[in-house]
Amino acid sequence: MISAPHRRRPVVAVLYQVALPPRLAEVEQLADVRLTDADGLAEALDGADVLFQWHSFSPALRENWDAASSLRWIHVSAAGVSELFFEELTASDIVYSNSRGVLSRAIAEFALGFVLEMAKDARGSFRLQQQERWQHRITRKIHGRTALVVGTGSIGREIARVFRAMGMEVSGAGRTSRPGDRDFERILSSRDLARIVPDFDYLVLAAPLTIATRGLVSAEVLAAMKSSACLINVARGGIVDTGALTEALASGSIAGAALDVVDPEPLPQGHALWSMENVILTPHMSGDTEDHLDDLAQLFLDNLRRYCRGDPLHNVVDKGLGFVSEPDFDLIRLVDARPEPEA
């Protein structure tokens, strides 16, 4: 049975760490809100219909699962959420939605920035400027260069669009291969990564971290890349074998790497990647712009309005896969088994 619009105000538990999410006043117009940190989550979940996990990667839900008996919907303010799943949650009928798409353009711009910084040697220019040295150099053009984007979801597609606008040739790598696509020249199977990477100048990671993608960029894949090729990771650090990457960069097996994410994260002090001149490191910030928090809160607010009307929700995650499987399946309706309150 498709749920009807709710006749009572839902109870929303909002899990936060330090700062509260924006747009709370608008949320409170639609629902009874319980604000809580991890320590108070069990109490906040008692009788709650919805969990808004603003503290994106908190393990508190797993730790307080017994208190979540009335939950019907969880929304998390992150796109990559597979590491948040646990057996009881996956087996439950709770609908789980994420923030897919909100940060995609910003992450794509960040990935392009990495490409330009490496191709134009921006850091080398800055070092020479600090030394007050006027030293002419030859840099690399990116027009006509080839990129393989691993991950053909919202972020990967936005990267493809931005790269193609710069004249790059962009292919994708996903779970299955197929010839034609609106954003990629072709989509190849990520299972064949070691065989296909020799054709590309840039290997760009934009996939969620799942059982299938953990350690996907292995020593074998890195050894198969062109010696002039660069790795860009704006996804999750665990997709890359960090030890193998460190060795490949130190030996010159690949030209460079730009990493917004690493494994482990944060990177320990004294790790070799910190001091390598052919490595750019940023602290997991590729999607964080001056207005991204408001955008994340707005998505939850839009979905809450849908929930209250009994409409399909956006960005529903396939809990077996760990991500929103396809754009056409972003919507789902909640089944409300509770009896309607009497008039």
148-167 pLDDT per residue, tens: 999 999 999 999 999 999 99
Q: State residue 322's pLDDT score.
A: 79
Q: Which amino acid is at 195?
A: R
Q: What are the two backbone dihedrals, phi and then psi, of residue 159, each rounded to the nearest 5 degrees?
A: -60, -45
For the CA atoms of 248, 251, 257, 263, the dihedral, rounded to the nearest 10 degrees, stands at: 50
What is the rounded CA–CA span in Å between residue 303 and residue 7? 17
Q: Which residues of the chain, if any, have pLDDT below 70? A: 1-7, 326-343
153-206 pLDDT per residue, tens: 999 999 999 999 999 999 999 988 888 789 999 999 999 999 999 999 999 999
Q: State residue 7's pLDDT score.
A: 60
Whether 97 and 73 have beta carbons less than 8 Å apart is answered as: yes
Q: State residue 5's pLDDT score.
A: 54
Q: State residue 33's pLDDT score.
A: 98
C-alpha neighbours within 13 Å on the C-beta side of residue 268:
5
Q: State residue 178's pLDDT score.
A: 84
Q: State residue 280's pLDDT score.
A: 97
Whether 107 and 287 have beta carbons less than 8 Å apart is answered as: yes
Q: State residue 6's pLDDT score.
A: 52
Q: State residue 335's pLDDT score.
A: 38
What pTM, to 2 d.p., does this model score?
0.86
Domains and CATH numbers, the chain: 11-102+290-329 (3.40.50.720), 104-281 (3.40.50.720)
For residue 233, give both structure tokens. 């990771």
What is the rounded CA–CA span in Å between residue 148 and residue 205? 8
Q: State residue 175's pLDDT score.
A: 87
Q: State residue 254's pLDDT score.
A: 98
CB atoms within 10 A of CB 138: 5
